[in-house]
Structure 1
Amino acid sequence: MKELPKYEVNPSGFLRYGFHPRLQEIKLLPDEYKDNDVYFFGLLTEDRRNVLRTIQEKGLKILLHDYDNPTLSFVRNSYIDRSKIILNLAQSTGFRHMSGIRIIYLATNHCYGLCESVDIDDGDYLKFSDVANPNEIAERCLEVIETKAYLNLAEKYHEMIKKFPMKNYLEELLDKTFGSG
């Protein structure tokens, strides 16, 4: 939302994302079947390449889906399910926000998301994900894999997001926009 005026967009309301049981669509593989360390999908900018290169230099296995080569959602979800960590990285130094829907989707589906630390948190979504500075992401990946902390953190964020149902946000926005009765 804070970025929008920069593009001469003045929103009248903001529909927040929240938990909805129908968004739970990723089959949960037992940990022993997770054959990938880190998964990233999105536009592959230079900033993102640098973070991914550092992770790879630590010896971690990365699955990558660049948006230049689109994938079907069921394939993406299969890669998410096979991975211990799903990265959420800022697009570039000039575009410093996180995808709120990605954070909510991962938390809803019991998946461990690791976000790059950013100054803009429209919607207050970062609390549903682990966060690290760009120069510390590779070390954080190693740490959560070595200790298997990603398992407990995924459950922690899932339990947190369940307390924020999406239907309440829609009702709130409709009441603000059209009055409550």
Structure 2
Amino acid sequence: MRIDLCCVGSRFNMYRNAIALLYHGLVGAGHDVTVSQNQIGNAALTIIVPPMAFRVPGLVEELRRRRQPYVVLGIETFDGFSHGQSADAADDVGAFRAFFESASAVLCLFKQDVERYRAISPQPLWLRYGVHPQLEEVADLPDRPVDVFFFGDVEPYPERRRTLQALRSAGLVTDVLDGSSQAPHELIRNARIARAKINLNLAHADHVSPQRVVYLANNRLCCVSNTVPDADGYLTAAHPVISTDRMVEACKAIVADGSWRRLGNEAYDRVSGWTMVETLSAAIDQALVR
């Protein structure tokens, strides 16, 4: 089947890990796959990323006119309008409902979203984020001069700032690539990831980001994470701790005893069965049955 992965908006790099995972999974399942941005093609099925695409003027009408099947990838915990928010005065509720009601399915990366979408989507489906050999792309450096690396927005989140400062104060060499909302190219990010013994997941909401923790495990990298609600089991890909103080202690111990490589390999072993070829094949087959 000809499938087009279309990222709508200006944040392709922000969603790049998920788009690449779906691309390789679908190709591995035998589909003819293209990737596009802000342009709906003539594929037999279009997968649209992210759900906020309904805000683009004319998109909903264009999809309705073409009558081609499409599904929406629910890439973050989402109530349809914005991450964790309801509609604001600028939202067209009619376009919002038409976008989701006309979709063949919404593929939800989080179980909690399935019920949220059920009222507006004919078929919300849980799609567990997984692994693929083509996403094993971070260089395996024998020597890593950085103890801890974090990639993400820092300034809006006081707890992230406090944690990073605590790590520095404990004497750990801590590197931060701020500004994930500006979405730097993955090679810029991955070159920094590769230099670090430990990569951090500092969740600021009630879910774990699989684009981060599962991706790191896919690359056999040690990820230390704070603990948040995780109905999907994504923390399986990380080394979770329950507090900032414990995070500092855990990072110091891992750096001191050199266990970061072992922990990364063990994380990979725990998620290696989450293969996206089979997962996506089943989801696409179900999405097209209406």
TM-score (normalizing by structure 2): 0.55
Q: Distance in 1 between matches of 2:130 and 2:183?
A: 26
| Equivalent residue number for residue 281 of structure 2 | 171
| Equivalent residue number for residue 258 of structure 2 | 148
| Equivalent residue number for residue 195 of structure 2 | 82
Task: Indicate which of 117, 124, 137 corresponds to 2:233.
Answer: 124
Asked whether the 8 Å contact 1:51–1:134 carries over to 2, the reply is no
Two-structure CA RMSD over aligned residues (Å): 2.1
Residues 128-156 of structure 1, C-alpha deviations (whole Å, 9 max, x = no match): 11101123101110011111111111011
Give the superposition deviation at 1:3.
4.9
Matched residues, number = 173
Task: Indicate which of 100, 112, 117 corresponds to 1:10.
Answer: 117
Q: Distance in 2 between matches of 1:106 and 1:3?
A: 20
Give the superposition deviation at 1:172.
2.5
Q: Whose Rg is larger? A: 2
Task: Indicate which of 168, 173, 198 corresponds to 1:56.
Answer: 168
Q: Which has the higher contact order (CA 8 A, sep 6+)?
A: 1
Q: Distance in 1 between matches of 2:129 and 2:231?
A: 11
Q: Distance in 1 between matches of 2:77 and 2:233?
A: 15
Residue type of the partner of 1:105? Answer: Y
Residue type of the partner of 1:128? Answer: A
Asked whether the 8 Å contact 2:128–2:279 carries over to 1, the reply is yes
Asked whether the 8 Å contact 1:103–1:126 carries over to 2, the reply is yes
Q: Distance in 2 between matches of 1:162 and 1:70?
A: 27
Q: Distance in 2 between matches of 1:4 and 1:54?
A: 31
| Equivalent residue number for residue 243 of structure 2 | 134
Residues 143-171 of structure 1, C-alpha deviations (whole Å, 9 max, x = no match): 11111111111011112222110112112
Q: Distance in 2 between matches of 1:62 and 1:3?
A: 29
| Percent sequence identity over aligned pairs | 28
Q: Distance in 2 between matches of 1:85 and 1:98?
A: 17
Give the superposition deviation at 1:74.
0.7
Q: Distance in 2 between matches of 1:84 and 1:162?
A: 21
Residue type of the partner of 2:199? Answer: I
Give the superposition deviation at 1:72.
2.2
Q: Distance in 1 between matches of 2:243 and 2:152?
A: 16
In the alignment, structure 2 segments of 5+ residues that lack a partner are 1-73, 87-115, 119-123
Whose strand proportion is higher, 1 or 2?
2
Residues 43-97 of structure 1, C-alpha deviations (whole Å, 9 max, x = no match): 1021100111111111001110111665321121111110000000012xxx232
Secondary structure in structure 2 of the residue aligned to 1:13: strand
Q: Distance in 1 between matches of 2:85 and 2:269?
A: 36
| Equivalent residue number for residue 46 of structure 1 | 158
Residues 80-136 of structure 1, C-alpha deviations (whole Å, 9 max, x = no match): 110000000012xxx2322112111101111111111112x1431111111011231
| Equivalent residue number for residue 107 of structure 1 | 217
Residue type of the partner of 1:36? Answer: V
Q: Distance in 2 between matches of 1:128 and 1:144?
A: 16
Q: Distance in 1 between matches of 2:183 and 2:269?
A: 31
Residues 2-29 of structure 1, C-alpha deviations (whole Å, 9 max, x = no match): 9534546516123221110010111101
